[in-house]
Amino acid sequence: MKIILTDVGRRYNREWIFKHITYEFESGKSYAILGPNGSGKSTLLKVLSGSLAPSAGSIYYEMSDKAVDVESVFQYLSLATPYVELIEEFTLREQIQFHFKFKNYLSGYSEPEVVQLLGLENAIDKELKFFSSGMKQRVKLALACCSDSAFVLLDEPTSNLDTAGEGWYLELVDKTKRADRLFIICSNQEKEYNFCDQTLSISDYKS
């Protein structure tokens, strides 16, 4: 998967969140999008996911040397972000089964492996509304990383995780990285992205 941005910008009303981003993301590498809270990291992630159109410039997706229409990009991605919630009325089992109706499992994973990875075997039939915020964040991350997707988008991945959870997250990424996958992390904490190959700072594209 390649994502090529050419002079991309996004604004709300008259205020430019970022502009003039020319950058290329490619499979086999991990990238960190950096910036303080409110700087536009999540907005750029939405543009990359195809859920938000750029206000200026163009974005091009390519898979196996063939162009991918922005309307089809969702088929190739998985994501875990603060603004995408779990279905709290579902049990963990129901949430996993529902998610994987739309995504295939990453090679080497299945429902039992995902539950084991989460360490939540005893909570498999517990409704998610009774999970702690840290448990919910682990579920989000596991669903994103264990999906057979060409690129993975993670926004503030260690939010609500304790020190043990932060270590678990880094192990999860290490286990699910593949030579043909692209990881993009939005963060302002080095511990979340120290494995990344390249970084892009939103602050560089403010004017």
At residue 207, does pLDDT exceed 90? no
Query: Can you tell me which residue has the tokens 């989460």?
Result: 118
The pLDDT, as a whole number, for residue 129 is 98
118-125 CB contacts, 8 Å cutoff, 24+ apart: 118/92, 118/142, 120/92, 123/92, 124/91, 124/92, 124/93, 125/91, 125/92, 125/93
Structural tokens at position 151: 């690129």
At 93 the three-state DSSP class reads: helix
Nearest to 151 by CA among 53, 50, 26: 26
**Cβ–Cβ contacts within 10 Å for residue 33, how many?**
26
What is the pairing mode between strands 30-34 and 56-63?
unpaired
pLDDT in tens, 136-152: 999 999 999 999 999 99
Q: What is the mean pLDDT of residues 114-118?
A: 97
Token pair for residue 28? Answer: 């086999």
Q: 61-104, pLDDT tens digit by residue?
A: 999 999 999 999 999 999 999 989 999 999 999 999 999 999 99
Percent of the chain with pLDDT over 90: 96
Question: Which one is the CATH code of 29-50+74-201: 3.10.580.10, 3.40.50.300, 3.40.1350.10, 1.20.1560.10?
Answer: 3.40.50.300
Candidates 169, 163, 155; CA nearest to 119 is 169
| Amino acid letter for position 183 | F
pLDDT, tens digit, 9 for 90 and up, residues 38-61: 999 999 999 999 999 999 999 999
Please report, as a single letter, which amino acid is at residue 203: S
Q: What is the pTM of this model?
A: 0.96
What is the phi/psi pair of residue 192, to 5°? -85, -20
Query: What strands lie across the sheet with 2-12, from one edge to the other?
Result: 15-26, 2-12, 56-63, 66-68
CA dist list (Å): 46 to 75, 204, 205: 15, 19, 16
Strands (E), the chain: 2-12, 15-26, 30-34, 56-63, 66-68, 77-80, 151-155, 182-187, 198-201
- At residue 78, the pLDDT reads 97
